């Protein structure tokens, strides 16, 4: 256990190239719409793209849409309760 801890401590304190852990950000802005966003999620939600585009409109409106409204549109989603700290 002590040897593993020392190795971990050495890895953490050893200076290294930050590019090894972080990718460089792209120099341009990419506009993301509802189809691109749902394709990124996967798990079959891409099939709901036409309904969401006609009912919600754009990606910004989708971000503020509540779970209950999505359920009324027939889109399966989990209602997650986040406890307050």
d(CA 72, CA 52): 12
Q: How many CB atoms lie within 10 A of CB 52?
A: 22
Q: Is residue 64 part of a domain?
A: yes
The range of the structural domain enclosing residue 45 comes to 30-85
Q: Is residue 66 part of a domain?
A: yes
Q: Residue 29 is encoded by which pair of tokens? A: 């802005």
Choose between 71 and 18: higher pLDDT.
71
In this model, does residue 81 exceed pLDDT 80? no
In this model, does residue 59 exceed pLDDT 80? yes
* Domain count along the chain: 1
Question: pLDDT of 23-51, one tens digit each?
Answer: 666 677 777 888 888 888 888 888 888 98
| H helix intervals, the chain | 2-13, 34-41, 49-55, 59-64, 67-72
Q: Is residue 13 part of a domain?
A: no
pLDDT band at 66 (very low <50, low <70, confident <90, very high): confident
Average pLDDT over residues 3-29: 61
Q: Is residue 24 part of a domain?
A: no
Q: Is residue 12 part of a domain?
A: no
> How high is the pLDDT of residue 34?
85
């Amino acid at each position: 256990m002590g040897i593993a801890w020392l190795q971990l401590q050495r890895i953490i304190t050893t200076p290294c190239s930050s590019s090894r852990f972080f990718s460089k950000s792209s120099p341009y802005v990419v506009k993301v719409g509802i189809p691109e966003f749902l394709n990124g999620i996967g798990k079959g939600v891409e099939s709901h793209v036409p309904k969401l585009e006609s009912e919600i409109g754009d990606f910004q409106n989708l971000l503020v849409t509540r779970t209950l409204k999505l359920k009324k549109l027939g889109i399966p989603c989990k209602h997650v309760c986040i406890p307050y700290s």
